[in-house]
Amino acid sequence: MKRALTLVSMMVLALLVPQLVLAQWAEGQGGQLVIRGGWLFDSVSDERRPNTGIVIQDGKIVEVDADLQQQVLSIANVIDLAGTDTILPGMIDLHAHYNLDLVDNGRVEEVVYNGIVFLANGVTSTWSAGEYYPERVIAQRDRIDAGESIGPRLFASGPYFGAFRCEYNIGTAADECIGWPNDISEEEIRQEVDAWAEQGVVSIKIKQATPGEMKIIIEQAHKRGMTTAAHLANYDWEYDVELRDAILMGLDRVEHQLTLGSGGVGSAEMPHMIELMLAHEVYYDANLQMYGGINERRAHAPDMLWTDEAKYFTPYAQELLEKRGEPEPESDAEEFAQRVLELKSLFDAGGAHLLIVGTDEPVYTNLLPGFAYHRELLAMTNAGIPPAAVLKAATINGARALGIDDRLGSIEAGKLADLYVVRGNPLDDIKVARDIRFVFRDGIAYDPAVLLQSAEGKIGPAGPNDHADWELEIRPLRED
């Protein structure tokens, strides 16, 4: 007969296992979990199809489109989906900042509850795109991997490679930064790459590096099996490294924009940049919801702001953020229109497989990156990218860009059982992707409502005497 955990048994489990209170279903006594019914979007096809059954064992998918027999069901936990439900691969954020600036003293990482918010939104893997306190990310990664904490898979980036290690104390690669000195040597750069590779960093974030530094970083990262991503523009609105040069150096992913212009002469090189990206298979992370976010939220408020995100901050942090108010838009209408054009032009030129999804939401307001992920999906569809292509960008493309597509990114036999279930058809309306019933990580199902409830009131300092962990201390590269 079917094995399923009742509500009472789940409550008992929650009392007995405090660290795993959010787990809803696990595998049966035979080590199997079966998900049947509803619809399946596997990120291999562009269509969804009826889900006859997905069989999961030991945290991996062992069969898709299963012809289920009674002997299978008799030894498995079975989850029956509603006829309108759709199951999808877990999503991947390729620009997932965990750092927050809450006390006007720089950005610092909060990984635990930010991670829970990501997971509750169907984002089962993140790459953190530059860290100021990498040890916090790595420690939480290790706790999650050991089953001692709950959250998405944390693919660490380590610190920024470039002068942005000094955050907004610098504006260009030429500015002096104690964390990345202007006279940094080739040996020091290679040692830095090696040191973070030894700590399990899978991909490096480059920002405000010189062309010479970038070339060494990319070369050494590739030597260590790591990929690279870069923010190429500086805060004088110039390139520290030209996009063409970065591509030819072997950069794997480019962020934000393909030109520095707002159309016209300033963006005349866009067709050539697209040709280069296609020729060299460079992935693109446009971050529309960040760079056009404020204006987009004003223009599409009901679609962009559908829940109270402020409640996940401590009451004190909520007060600080409310006093700060809304920042100025990152870009004006013309500049944002150019970013939209660049994304759509790359897609139209045959670059659908190079599009990835990243939120780029370091927290300065009461909005959180876990929810911002769905704002990005919506912004991409508003830019003219079909929902199926957006969902592939969020899943299999992200996995390929990070070099983890042998394990994640699609629903196929042999891959890890990171999945999520939504109510309805996200191919008709991408907003359906945020109406989540269950999230699975390693074959364990979580109720997103319970996950979110566990994070309420937890992010940020408790009061004015609790600022120490929320203030950035820039660390020198060289010890005296």
Tell me: the pLDDT tens digits for 268-300? Answer: 999 999 999 999 999 999 999 988 878 888 888
The pLDDT value given to residue 292: 82
Bridge partner list, 25: 445
Q: Which residue has the tokens 């920002």?
A: 207
Please list the helix, strand and coil fractions of the chain in percent, rounded to the nearest 5, in that order: 40, 20, 40
Say if CB 96 and CB 73 are below 8 A apart. Answer: no
State pLDDT tens for residues 411-455.
999 999 999 999 999 999 999 999 999 999 999 999 999 999 999
User: Which tokens sit at 279?
Assistant: 């020729």
CA-only gyration radius of the chain, Å: 22
Say if CB 392 and CB 430 are below 8 A apart. Answer: no
In the chain, % of residues over pLDDT 70: 92
Separation of alpha carbons 202 and 224, rounded Å: 9
The pLDDT value given to residue 261: 92
Q: Which residue has the tokens 């860009």?
A: 401
What is the maximum alpha-carbon separation in the chain? 69
Handedness of CA 427, 433, 439, 441 (dihedral sign): positive
Separation of alpha carbons 255 and 290, rounded Å: 12
The pLDDT value given to residue 350: 98
Reduced to 3 states (helix: H, G, I; strand: E, B; else coil), residue 218 is: helix
The pLDDT value given to residue 199: 97
DSSP string for residues in 12-47:
HHHHH-GGGTTEEE---TTSEEEEESSEE--SSSSS
pTM across the whole model: 0.93
Handedness of CA 58, 62, 66, 70 (dihedral sign): negative
Bridge partner list, 238: none
Separation of alpha carbons 22 and 452, rounded Å: 10
Q: Judging by DSSP bridges, how do beta strands 60-63 and 54-57 pair with one another?
A: antiparallel
Bridge partner list, 92: 125
The pLDDT value given to residue 14: 35
Say if CB 291 and CB 330 are below 8 A apart. Answer: yes
Separation of alpha carbons 246 and 213, rounded Å: 11
Q: Judging by DSSP bridges, how do beta strands 85-89 and 419-423 pair with one another?
A: antiparallel
State pLDDT tens for residues 189-218.
999 999 999 999 999 999 999 999 999 999
Say if CB 114 and CB 143 are below 8 A apart. Answer: no
User: Which tokens sit at 3?
Assistant: 């094995």
User: Which tokens sit at 392?
Assistant: 């592939």
Q: Confidence class of residue 28 from pLDDT cuts 50, 70 and 90?
A: very low
Mean of the per-residue pLDDT values of the chain: 91
Separation of alpha carbons 374 and 377, rounded Å: 5
HSE, side-chain direction, 13 A CA sphere, residue 143:
15
State pLDDT tens for residues 379-408.
999 999 999 999 999 999 999 999 999 999
Q: Is the pLDDT of residue 187 over 90?
A: yes
Q: Confidence class of residue 7 from pLDDT cuts 50, 70 and 90?
A: very low
Q: Is the pLDDT of residue 369 over 60?
A: yes
